[in-house]
Structure 1
Amino acid sequence: MKTHYEVLGCHRNATYEELKRRYQELVLKYHPDKQENLLPATFLEIDTAWKILRDPEQRKLYDDQLTHTQLSEQPLIFATLSLSDLYRHEETLNYSYMCRCGGLYSIAQMEVGLEDCFVHCEGCSLIIHIKCDNEK
């Protein structure tokens, strides 16, 4: 789903004047009176985006919500490590790393390949990024 900024074709840090100018350009192009073969949904998307982004309070609320959504969709990477940074358990052939929550990041030696990998903590939502250093 497009953000309101994407609908208007602007960056998130666009000024009010930039947003307004872009809105006016798009309204001229997509207004239902100007184009009868276009879907009215396009115009409504543009109008809705402008109505939210033109008001400083609504824009701040929208930006906060957008930031929250984007952060919740991205994993929280606690650290980027080399395989040699992890503790190797000789008896099980597993690697582990202690998380700040007290939980453990664990990965079996056979899961470690030639590509980088991501390992979830067993106790929280954090992730570590293990850079491949071809050590097995």
Structure 2
Amino acid sequence: MCDAAEKDLYAVLGASASDSIQQLKHRYQQLALQYHPDRLGGECSSEAQYGVNKFLEVDAAWRILQDQNTRRQYDLQRRALELKQDWPVDSALYLEDMTWNQDECAYTYSCRCGGGFNISEKEVEEETQRKQQDDEDEETEEEAHGGVVVCCDTCSLSVHVTGLTLPSLTTK
């Protein structure tokens, strides 16, 4: 079940953790009918291969979520992974989605609370330099996704800002 903990089995079924077993079963049955290999007619296309892989993924998710004990164990593993996060991130966005504020020399993005997320030009430059250094060193999968967590200046929400390696910081 280690591999399953890395993948959101509820998302595989198009469901949520709060769904009842009957709701999960219904979603499983719909997806199993849609992607079952017998329905693909024995085709050897990439589309057929995708369908088979999707069916196997849906079936594996259902095998874990259908049983109360394995579902509980899976839910506990998911919760443990959530608690291990360095920082709770509510959303992700790209630097290019943010607005350049010339007066503050910072990129800004409005929060739903009315506050804002701000990242200074200096922080962007530092992250760009760090990313370039990582590119020179052997890159791990985690480092490849890079970015900075920015907190709202009013509430407790935070976003993960990526895409910090802009070609030129002077073209704002």
Normalising by structure 1, we get a TM-score of 0.55
Cα distance per residue 1:8-63 (max 9 Å; x no partner): 00011110000001100001000011024422211110000000000000000000
- Aligned to 2:17, which of 12, 17, 27? 12
* 1:131 paired to 2:143: no
Letter in 2 for 1:42: K
- Name the % identity: 36
Gaps of 5+ in 2: 1-5, 90-105, 109-116, 120-150, 155-172
What root-mean-square deviation, in Å, do the aligned CA atoms of Structure 1 and Structure 2 show?
A: 2.9
Choose from 38, 43, 55 the match for 1:33. 38
1:42-53 aligned within 5 A: 42-53=54-65
User: Aligned runs of 1:20-99 on 2, under 5 Å?
Assistant: 20-35=25-40, 36=43, 37-39=47-49, 40-75=52-87
Q: Distance in 2 between matches of 1:15 and 1:75?
A: 30
SS in structure 1 of the partner of residue 72 of structure 2: helix
Summarize the Cα distance change of 1:75–1:24 in structure 2 as closer, same or farther, 3 Å threshold: same
**What's the offset of the Cα at 1:75?**
1.1
How far off its partner does 1:76 sit?
A: 6.0
Structure exhibiting the larger radius of gyration computed from Cα positions: 1
Identify unmatched segments of 5+ residues in structure 1: 78-112, 118-128
More strand by share: 1
The separation in 1 between residues aligned to 2:84 and 2:10, in whole angstroms, is: 19
Report the residue type matching 1:131 in the other structure: D
Change (3 A) 1:28 1:70: same
The match for 2:93 is none
Q: Which amino acid aligns with 2:24?
A: L
CA distance in 1, matches of 2:59, 2:33: 12
* CA deviation after TM superposition for structure 1 residue 69, in Å: 1.1
Equivalenced residue count is 89
1:86-125 map, 5 Å: 116=118
* Cα gap change, 1:116 to 1:48, in 2 (>3 Å): same
